[in-house]
Amino acid sequence: MTMSGTDRAGRIAALGYDYAAQPKAEVRACNLCGAARFVVLTHRDRYGYPAEAHACAGCGLVFLNPQMTAEAYGRFYDGIYRPLVSAFHGRLIDAQTIQAEQREYAAERAAFIAPFVAGSGARTLLDIGGSTGVVAHHVARQFGLQGTLIDPAPLEVEEARRLGLETVTGLVEHHDFGARRFDLVIICQTVDHLLDVGGVLSRVRSLLSDRGLLFIDIVDFRAAYLRNWSVEDAVKIDHPYYLTQETMTAYLRRTGFEALRTDFAADHLHVSYICRPSTAERDTMPAAGHAQALLDEIRYVQNAPRK
Ligand SMILES: [Zn+2]
Instruction: Please give the distance, rounded to the nearest whole angstrom, from the Cα atom of residue 88 to the centre of ligand 1.
Output: 31
| Structure confidence at residue 121 (pLDDT) | 95
pLDDT digits (tens, 9 = 90+) for 99-133: 888 899 999 999 999 999 999 999 999 999 998 89
Instruction: Please give the distance, rounded to the nearest whole angstrom, from the Cα atom of residue 250 to the centre of ligand 1.
Output: 10
Instruction: Please give the distance, rounded to the nearest whole angstrom, from the Cα atom of residue 30 to the centre of ligand 1.
Output: 5
- Distance in angstroms (rounded) separating the CA atoms of residues 38 and 55: 5
Instruction: Please give the distance, rounded to the nearest whole angstrom, from the Cα atom of residue 37 to the centre of ligand 1.
Output: 8
Count the Cβ atoms, other than its own, within 10 Å of residue 169.
Answer: 16
- Distance in angstroms (rounded) separating the CA atoms of residues 297 and 96: 39
Q: What is the mean pLDDT of the chain?
A: 93
- Distance in angstroms (rounded) separating the CA atoms of residues 185 and 128: 7
- Distance in angstroms (rounded) separating the CA atoms of residues 245 and 138: 27
| DSSP codes of every residue in 108-146 | HHHHHHHHHHTTS---EEEEET-TTSHHHHHHHHHHT-E
Place 273 in a pLDDT band, splitting at 50, 70 and 90.
very high
For 64, the 3-state DSSP assignment is strand
Residue type, 12: I
| DSSP codes of every residue in 255-281 | TTEEEEEEEE-TTSSEEEEEEEE--S-
Place 283 in a pLDDT band, splitting at 50, 70 and 90.
low
Please determine, for residue 3, whether its predicted confidence score (pLDDT) is greater than 80: no
Instruction: Please give the distance, rounded to the nearest whole angstrom, from the Cα atom of residue 185 to the centre of ligand 1.
Output: 26
Instruction: Please give the distance, rounded to the nearest whole angstrom, from the Cα atom of residue 239 to the centre of ligand 1.
Output: 17
Instruction: Please give the distance, rounded to the nearest whole angstrom, from the Cα atom of residue 60 to the centre of ligand 1.
Output: 6
Question: Are the C-beta atoms of 306 and 294 separated by less than 8 Å?
Answer: no
